[in-house]
Structure 1
Amino acid sequence: MIKLVTFLGNYGAEYKDTRHNVAWQFASQLPFYEKLNWQQKFKGDYAVVETATLAEWFAQTGIYAKKDGSAPHIPEDAPEKIYFLKPLTYMNLSGEAIGELARFYKINPEEILVVHDELELPMGTASLKWSGGLGGHNGLRSTKAVLGTADFWRLRFGLTKPEGKDIADYVLSSFTQDERIILAQVFGETTKMFAKFLLSNEDGQKKLLQGWSKRKIVEK
């Protein structure tokens, strides 16, 4: 099960609304985000919450609950706590922050979920992925280099690869107003899956992977 969720992005006000920071934007709209006690450590902003408390937050905010509105089931093999991390190393060195926290709390690569932007997927798409290629993403490349493996989970948000534009300039530019409307819908649907995934055992993760390998939520 997942013990660490890392949201990749670039630190600084000038990067806040850019495409490369879509993971941070996703994090900030999570209904329980403000409940997290963020601190600076491990070369990033990090927070930790007991899994039982997180399940209660899911129910209270309406993200994920039983039919009677109570907190969702927590598997017997669930970790006692879940960590959240936003590396402050800038994108290309994201692995340094992830590696420090993972080593300190003895978290294995397969227990890590990395949330990031994905040029190879169209806007309006969210994708859950296990291991595999890095798609030229420098944040993932750094993570693999530090962890020594690509065997970690990813939650990807499609950006649509631009034609005839410089990639660096594109990912460091801001979303258009129309794209923000699309993202709001994508985030809304993905948040529900995200909550379920955090409380899923191996069988549950596989089921979610089948349905979310490349989920087209909004047609652009």
Structure 2
Amino acid sequence: MSSFSMLLAGLGNPGPKYAATRHNFGFLLVDALREKLEGRASAGLAPVSAAKGKGDMWQARPVANKPAWLLLKPMTFMNLSGDAVAPVLRFYKMQPDQLLVIHDELDLPLGRMKMKFGGGNAGHNGLKSIAERLGTNDFHRLRLGVGRPLVGETADYVLSPFTAEELPTVSKILDAALKALVTFARFGSERATEQVNSFRIAS
């Protein structure tokens, strides 16, 4: 049995070129969680070697008196996310239902987020790669809305940075998502899902 209760995998692409892009929303949330827990002794935040060396990884306790989580940023590029996620689950003897994947979501507008367990991949190549490597879709997802482009190609849109006008909304979403992760760690997925799915940014 694993000493970690969850693997939190925030999806994105490595390198400064992609750092602030919509496709890296998952990376942004993992970084925000690390920043929140840094310097908090009870969190036990510390780097960990990712299995097969295909990601940046840390151990941490989002809630002081609860089991530790693994925080993972795959460094394989989005389309091969499963090559980083699957080996970590296997190495630590964790099950797919102990995985929470954070990713950008075209089918939700910026300012909305959804949490769900299982289901399809809606054309998201990161999710597709993970499902293929695990042999199942039965894992948790935290979908952070980015909306669809009004003009132009979807691929160009997700690989472009958030605009200056969007950044305040991005910040609010990250704050709300962090609170939801703490709820997940403290009370489980059902309570966190209710919190996430009822979230609205006040106009």
Structure 1 length-normalised TM: 0.80
Q: Which amino acid aligns with 2:6?
A: K
SS in 1 for 2:141: strand
Find the counterpart in structure 2 of residue 12 from structure 1.
Answer: 15
Are 1:32 and 2:37 counterparts? yes
CA distance in 2, matches of 1:34, 1:17: 25
Aligned residue pairs total 192
Distance 1:187 1:164, change over 3 A: same
Distance 1:129 1:179, change over 3 A: same
Q: Report if the CA contact (8 A) 1:27-1:33 is conserved.
A: no
Which of residues 21, 24, 43 is equivalent to 1:21? 24
* Structure 2 unpaired stretches of 5+: none
SS in 2 for 1:29: helix
Distance 1:132 1:33, change over 3 A: farther
Structure 2 length-normalised TM: 0.87
CA distance in 1, matches of 2:12, 2:198: 22
Q: Which amino acid aligns with 2:63?
A: A
Q: Which amino acid aligns with 1:207?
A: R
* Structure 1 unpaired stretches of 5+: 57-72, 75-79
Shift of 1:146: 0.5
CA distance in 1, matches of 2:164, 2:32: 17
Shift of 1:214: 5.9
Shift of 1:39: 4.3
CA distance in 1, matches of 2:137, 2:74: 18
Distance 1:199 1:2, change over 3 A: farther
CA distance in 2, matches of 1:34, 1:14: 29
Distance 1:181 1:199, change over 3 A: same
Task: Give runs of aligned pairs for residues 137-152 of structure 1, distance below 5 A.
Answer: 137-152=124-139
Identity percentage over the alignment? 36
Distance 1:214 1:122, change over 3 A: farther
SS in 2 for 1:128: strand
Q: Cα RMSD between the aligned structures? A: 2.0
Q: Report if the CA contact (8 A) 2:30-2:71 is conserved.
A: no
Find the counterpart in structure 2 of residue 153 from structure 1.
Answer: 140
Find the counterpart in structure 2 of residue 165 from structure 1.
Answer: 152
Q: Which amino acid aligns with 2:58?
A: A
CA distance in 1, matches of 2:198, 2:120: 15
Shift of 1:140: 0.1
Task: Give runs of aligned pairs for residues 1-220 of structure 1, distance below 5 A.
Answer: 2-30=5-33, 31-32=36-37, 36-42=45-51, 43-49=54-60, 51=61, 54-56=62-64, 74=66, 80-201=67-188, 205-213=189-197, 215-219=199-203
Distance 1:215 1:135, change over 3 A: farther
Find the counterpart in structure 2 of residue 63 from structure 1.
Answer: none
Q: Which amino acid aligns with 2:200?
A: K
CA distance in 2, matches of 1:103, 1:86: 17
Distance 1:46 1:27, change over 3 A: same
Q: Which amino acid aligns with 1:121?
A: L
